[in-house]
Amino acid sequence: MTETKKSQWNSNFAFMMAMIGSAVGLGNIWRFPKVLYTNGGGSFMIPYIVSLFLLGISFVLVEYAVGYRFKRSLARILFTISKKLEPVAWFILFTVFLITTYYVCVVGWDLIYIFLSFTKAWGANPDVFFTQNVLHATESMTGLFTIVPTVLASVIAIWFITWFIIKRDLNEGIGAVSKVLIPLLCVIVVIIVAFSLTLPGASVGYSQIFTPDWSALTNLDVWLAAFGQIVFSLSLGMAIAMTYASYLPEGSKLVDNAMIVAFSNSGFEVFNSIGTFSILGFMAVTTAIPFNELVTSGSGLAFVVFPQVFNIMGDAAYVIGPLFFICILFAGITSIIALLEGFCYSISEKFLIERKKTATVVCIVGCLISAIFTTAAGSTILDIADAFLNNFALLFAVFLECIIFGWIYKFDNLIETLNEHSRIKVGKTWKVVIKYILPVCIAGLWLEGVLTTINNNNELSSTVMLILTAIVIIVPIILAKLPAINKDYYNVEN
Ligand code: PFF
């Protein structure tokens, strides 16, 4: 990928599938149900929809407008706006890269579970099986010196698949894969949800999400949770929409597009959660375990509770089980390739390295970092890294982007870009949201994260977070300081 050969989507459908693929990920499948349940059930949909429209779509539009207008990588866009901002771009891109290194690991666990699910090999005690037989988990840091071979092998496999997709031309790689995997993912989810609704006790589960707790609406934390879910689920601030939009041909309908992507992503998570809750309802009725004890999120839901459910489901589990884990795999892979694209594009553009070589280097380095998470202490480190990178670094990135594009850059240019070809127009309200409302909400969410982290702090997590802070400051500064090989990089005309 050089200056002379700029990638461009060959169809609007490919762009849309890639965008939906970037948004639909583990967050939709295993984060949303718990967030929904613990924040008021049915009534949560109100803050959720308000956050989606007011903040989520508004921010996606900023990313679309910036990418489409500049048609450059994030590093070069920020360099163009002001030389001093280039390290900020590398900070965002590098943070996202680090998030990818552990996200790949979780998808690697999932790959192992696809194989296990054909025979329900987790046995009668999936909880113990997951921590002891799969992860070989220990909280002691000496575990860092013990690699778990199966986890390492599956992480290498996921990196290899990622490399195989992203090294190709945009349309042959990301475009083609998204066009296949996203429709397939939808079909699988429809099958799982339809099946789950036939299970005895399903209504006990799904009625929980439709039973509103209106008092939750007066709780600020619930609003922050809704907003946090939208940030995570739509992959805001990760330079994905910006990068993908920079590959759009002239005349694209940006606002219409952003709406479709945002609705598809939210539609997916709400629809999928009906299935998840029905399955948990079935479990609650069959085993008499209280429903609220079953609603977990993250790996606990996918690798412990779901296998427990499959154990009591009978033969249908031999089909539904693999489908469930395949669903996570597809959602994960389409997110991973998106998470890496902005970083790869910036490296390619600055250092004039072709796409294939950049992909190879990024995947090898990524795989080496992921190896840390495949050790016996890996899952402990992973939780700490996740809390830090998601709650601090990423939210800080979204905040910085609001300030840069809302205050430093000439915002009216973005309004002009968006309204050029779209049927739905944006105006002053959008400007107010980006300049004032969004930064305040992000700051609130960020402060909440800081307080939670301080309260739950221990020596290990402080050390890991300190190391991570140093890394996400030093590496971006180095990347920004390195001179560009591409002389056009310094051309700041826009
Ligand atoms: N939006 C995707 C998901 O919900 O899984 C991708 C993603 C978002 C990955 C945020 C990582 C992350 F921190």
- Cα→Cα distances 228→40, 58, 292, 446, Å: 15, 15, 22, 10
Ligand 1 mean position, distance from CA 390 (Å): 9
Name the average pLDDT for the chain. 94
Q: What percent of the chain has pLDDT over 90?
A: 83
pLDDT in tens, 370-422: 999 999 999 999 999 998 888 888 899 999 999 999 999 999 999 999 998 88
Sign of CA dihedral 249, 486, 354, 235: negative
Residue closest by Cα to atom 4 of ligand 1: 27
Question: Which among 22, 26, 31, 269 is the best mutation to test ligand 1's pocket, defined by most ligand atoms within 8 Å of the CB?
Answer: 26
Of 280, 306, 305, 307, the closest CA to residue 203 belongs to: 280
Residue 4 is predicted with a pLDDT of 41
Residue closest by Cα to atom 10 of ligand 1: 232
Whether ligand 1 lies within 6 angstroms of the CB of 232 is answered as yes
Q: What percent of the chain has pLDDT over 70?
A: 99
Number of DSSP helices (H) and strands (E) in the chain, helices first: 25, 0
Judge whether residue 6 has pLDDT over 80.
no
Q: How far apart are the first and last CA of the chain?
A: 20
Helix, strand, coil percent values for the chain (each to nearest 5): 80, 0, 20
Whether ligand 1 lies within 6 angstroms of the CB of 366 is answered as no
What's the one-letter identity of residue 326?
I
* Total Cβ atoms within 10 A of residue 259: 17
Question: Which among 59, 94, 96, 238 is the best mutation to test ligand 1's pocket, defined by most ligand atoms within 8 Å of the CB?
Answer: 238
Beta bridge partners of 212: 41
Q: Calculate mean pLDDT across residues 319-337.
A: 98
pLDDT band at 267 (very low <50, low <70, confident <90, very high): very high
- Cα→Cα distances 241→25, 65, 120, 429, Å: 15, 9, 39, 21
pLDDT in tens, 283-308: 999 999 999 889 888 888 999 999 99
Judge whether residue 166 has pLDDT over 50.
yes
pLDDT in tens, 19-70: 999 999 999 998 999 999 999 998 999 999 999 999 999 999 999 999 999 9
Q: Calculate mean pLDDT across residues 430-457.
A: 88
Whether ligand 1 lies within 6 angstroms of the CB of 150 is answered as no
Whether ligand 1 lies within 6 angstroms of the CB of 235 is answered as yes
Whether ligand 1 lies within 6 angstroms of the CB of 338 is answered as no
Whether ligand 1 lies within 6 angstroms of the CB of 272 is answered as no
Atom of ligand 1 nearest to the CA of 332: 5
Whether ligand 1 lies within 6 angstroms of the CB of 27 is answered as yes
Whether ligand 1 lies within 6 angstroms of the CB of 335 is answered as yes
Rounded Cα–Cα distance for residues 148 and 155 (Å): 11
Domains of the chain: 12-490 (1.10.4160)
Judge whether residue 140 has pLDDT over 50.
yes
Ligand 1 mean position, distance from CA 469 (Å): 20
Judge whether residue 488 has pLDDT over 60.
yes
**Helices marked H in 167-199 — which ranges?**
176-197
Token couple for 57: 């779509």
Residue closest by Cα to atom 13 of ligand 1: 390
Residue 144 is predicted with a pLDDT of 94
Whether ligand 1 lies within 6 angstroms of the CB of 233 is answered as yes
Rounded Cα–Cα distance for residues 431 and 341 (Å): 28
Residue 5 is predicted with a pLDDT of 59
pLDDT band at 454 (very low <50, low <70, confident <90, very high): confident
DSSP character string of 414-451? HHHHHHTT-SS---HHHHHIIIIIHHHHHHHHHHHHHH
Residue 2 is predicted with a pLDDT of 41
Residue closest by Cα to atom 5 of ligand 1: 25
Token couple for 20: 């939906």
pLDDT in tens, 183-229: 999 999 999 999 999 999 999 999 988 888 899 899 988 999 999 99
Question: Which among 97, 107, 229, 232 is the best mutation to test ligand 1's pocket, defined by most ligand atoms within 8 Å of the CB?
Answer: 232
Whether ligand 1 lies within 6 angstroms of the CB of 486 is answered as no
Atom of ligand 1 nearest to the CA of 335: 6
**Do 260 and 81 meet the contact criterion of CB atoms below 8 Å apart?**
no
Residue closest by Cα to atom 2 of ligand 1: 25
Of 230, 126, 184, the closest CA to residue 328 belongs to: 184
Residue 1 is predicted with a pLDDT of 43
Judge whether residue 494 has pLDDT over 80.
no
Whether ligand 1 lies within 6 angstroms of the CB of 181 is answered as no
* C-alpha neighbours within 13 Å on the C-beta side of residue 248: 30
Q: Calculate mean pLDDT across residues 99-126.
A: 97
Ligand 1 mean position, distance from CA 398 (Å): 14
Whether ligand 1 lies within 6 angstroms of the CB of 103 is answered as yes
pLDDT band at 453 (very low <50, low <70, confident <90, very high): confident
